[in-house]
C-alpha cells in the first residue's frame, strides 16, 4: 500500500479497493475467455486454423503492427514460419530471426519461457518474443512487432499473451497427438485386415463388433446369420467349454486360451488355439478380443 493510498479518506480508500477488485475480476474473465481453445480442439482444428484464431484473439488484446508464428518441424527441430500477418513483412521477420539466432537472443527467448522485448536489428522497431510451449515440449515461437515509438506493452498484457500462447501450444499438441493416433489406427487396421487367421472383437454378449476378412469368411461359409457371435463359429461340441472360459474371462478380466474347432463351412471344421483377451472400460469388461491360430500352424 502506497503513502498516497494510506492518506486517502476511508470512503475513497474503499472505492479504490473496489476498483482494484473489479479490475482483477475483469482481467480474470478476459484470461478465461482468451485461453479457452476447447471449441477448436473439439472440432479438430488444424494448426493453421489454431494460429489464425490465436492471432484474432491477440489482435484484440495487443494490436501488433506485424505478427508472426513459427512452428517446430518434427524431426529437424527447425523453426519455420507458419503464419505472418501481414504477409508482406515475412522477409523482414526472416531477416530478424537470422539476426536473433546468430546473436543468441532466439535461444534466450526459448529458455526464458516468457515474453521478452528487444529492439530490431536496425533499432526502428521493438519485438516481443514468446515461445509456444506446453509443459512437455517447445512447439514454436511468437514474434510481435511494434514501431519503436509505440507504447510499451504492460506486464498484465504480457502475462495474458503468455497464457494465450500456452493454450495455443496445447491445442496444437492435441491436434498432432490425434493425428498420430489416427495414423496408428490406420496401420493397425491394415495389419488387422491383412492377417489370414481369424481376428475379431466381441461385445459383452459375445456378438461380433469387429471382424477381419478371415473371420467374415468363416461366418459366410458356415452360412451363419449376420448377427452371428463367437459361440456360433465354434463346433457345437466345444461351445460349453468356450462359454465357461468366456465367463471366466469376463468375470475376472483375465486372458484365456483353449483348443477348439472352428466351423469353416457347412460340413467341416478346423482345430485352432483360441486366445481371448478382455476389452476393459476402466474396471469393467465390455467385450473380448480374440485370435484363432490353426493347429497346423503350431505344429
Is residue 154 in a domain?
A: yes
pTM as predicted: 0.56
CA distance 105 to 116: 10
Q: What is the pLDDT of residue 237?
A: 93
Residues 206 and 184 in one domain: no
Q: Do both 126 and 202 map to the same domain?
A: no
Asked whether residue 181 falls in the same domain as residue 221, the answer is no
Same domain, 29 and 140: yes
Strands 269-281 and 284-294: antiparallel
How many Cα atoms sit within 13 Å of 91 on the Cβ side?
Answer: 1
Give dist(CA 139, CA 167) in Å, integer: 11
The answer to whether position 29 is within a domain reads yes
Same domain, 44 and 161: yes
Question: Same domain, yes or no, for 92 and 135?
Answer: yes
Q: CATH number, domain at 244?
A: 3.30.450.20
Q: Which residues contact 213 (CB under 8 A, 6 or more apart)?
A: 193
- Assess whether 253 and 277 both reside in one domain: yes
Q: Are residues 36 and 121 in the same domain?
A: yes
8 in any annotated domain: no
Cell, residue 251: 468375470
Establish if 9 belongs to a structural domain.
Answer: no
137: in domain:
yes
Burial class of 250 by CB neighbour count within 10 A (0 to 12, 13 to 18, 19+): buried
Does residue 265 come out as left (phi exceeding 0), alpha (psi in the -120 to 50 range) or beta? beta
User: What local confidence, expressed as pLDDT, does residue 28 receive?
Assistant: 56
Whole-number pLDDT of residue 1 = 47
Mode of pairing for the β-strands spanning 79-85 and 116-119: unpaired
Q: Are residues 202 and 179 in the same domain?
A: no
Q: Do residues 211 and 165 share a domain? A: no
- Going across the sheet that includes 79-85, the strands are 79-85, 66-72, 138-147, 125-133, 116-119
163 and 241 inside one domain: no
Which of 128, 153, 188 is the C-terminal boundary of a domain? 188
Domain boundary among 166, 188, 210: 188
Residue 214 pLDDT = 87
* pLDDT score recorded for residue 95: 95
Q: What is the pLDDT of residue 99?
A: 95
Quote the CA–CA distance of 179 and 198 in Å, as a whole number.
Answer: 29
Q: What is the domain-level CATH number for residue 127?
A: 3.30.450.40
Domain assignment of residue 5, yes or no: no
What are the grid coordinates assigned to 168, written together? 495455443
DSSP3 helix / strand / coil % (the chain, rounded to 5): 50, 25, 25
* 10 in a structural domain: no
Count of C-beta atoms within a 10 Å radius of residue 100: 21
Range of the domain at 273: 195-297
Residue 225's pLDDT is: 60
Pair 226, 183 in one domain: no
Please provide residue 105's backbone torsions phi and psi, each rounded to the nearest 5 degrees.
-70, -30
**Would residue 134 count as lying in a domain?**
yes
Number of folded domains that form the chain: 2
Q: Which residue, 165, 188, 211, sits at the end of a domain? A: 188
For the chain, which residues score pLDDT lower than 70? 1-8, 10-44, 180-185, 188, 222-226, 266-267, 297-299
Amino acid at each position: 500500500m502506497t503513502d498516497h493510498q494510506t492518506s486517502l479518506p476511508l470512503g475513497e480508500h474503499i472505492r479504490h479497493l473496489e476498483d482494484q477488485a473489479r479490475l482483477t475480476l475483469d482481467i480474470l474473465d478476459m484470461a478465461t475467455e482468451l485461453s479457452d481453445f476447447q471449441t477448436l480442439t473439439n472440432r479438430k482444428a488444424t494448426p493453421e486454423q489454431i494460429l489464425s484464431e490465436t492471432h484474432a484473439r491477440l489482435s484484440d488484446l495487443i494490436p501488433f503492427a506485424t505478427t508472426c508464428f513459427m512452428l517446430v518441424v518434427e524431426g529437424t527441430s527447425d523453426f519455420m514460419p507458419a503464419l505472418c500477418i501481414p504477409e508482406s513483412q515475412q522477409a523482414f521477420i526472416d531477416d530478424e530471426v537470422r539476426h536473433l539466432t546468430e546473436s543468441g537472443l532466439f535461444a534466450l527467448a526459448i529458455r526464458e519461457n516468457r515474453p521478452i522485448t528487444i529492439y530490431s536489428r536496425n533499432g526502428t522497431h521493438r519485438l516481443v518474443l514468446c515461445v509456444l510451449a506446453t509443459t512437455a515440449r517447445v512447439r514454436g515461437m511468437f514474434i510481435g512487432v511494434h514501431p519503436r515509438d509505440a507504447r510499451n506493452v504492460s506486464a498484465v498484457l504480457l502475462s495474458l499473451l503468455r497464457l494465450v500462447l500456452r493454450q495455443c501450444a496445447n491445442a496444437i499438441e492435441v491436434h498432432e497427438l490425434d493425428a498420430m493416433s489416427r495414423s496408428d489406427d490406420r496401420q493397425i487396421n491394415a495389419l488387422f485386415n491383412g492377417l489370414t487367421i481369424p481376428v475379431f472383437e466381441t461385445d459383452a454378449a459375445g456378438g461380433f463388433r469387429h471382424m477381419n476378412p478371415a473371420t467374415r469368411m468363416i461366418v459366410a461359409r458356415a452360412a451363419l446369420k449376420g448377427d452371428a457371435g463367437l459361440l456360433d463359429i465354434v463346433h457345437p461340441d466345444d461351445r460349453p467349454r468356450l462359454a465357461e472360459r468366456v465367463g471366466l474371462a469376463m468375470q475376472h478380466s483375465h486372458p484365456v486360451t483353449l483348443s477348439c474347432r472352428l466351423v469353416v463351412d457347412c460340413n467341416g471344421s478346423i482345430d485352432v488355439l483360441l486366445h481371448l483377451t478382455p476389452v476393459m472400460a476402466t474396471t469393467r469388461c465390455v467385450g473380448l478380443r480374440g485370435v484363432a491360430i490353426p493347429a497346423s500352424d503350431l505344429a
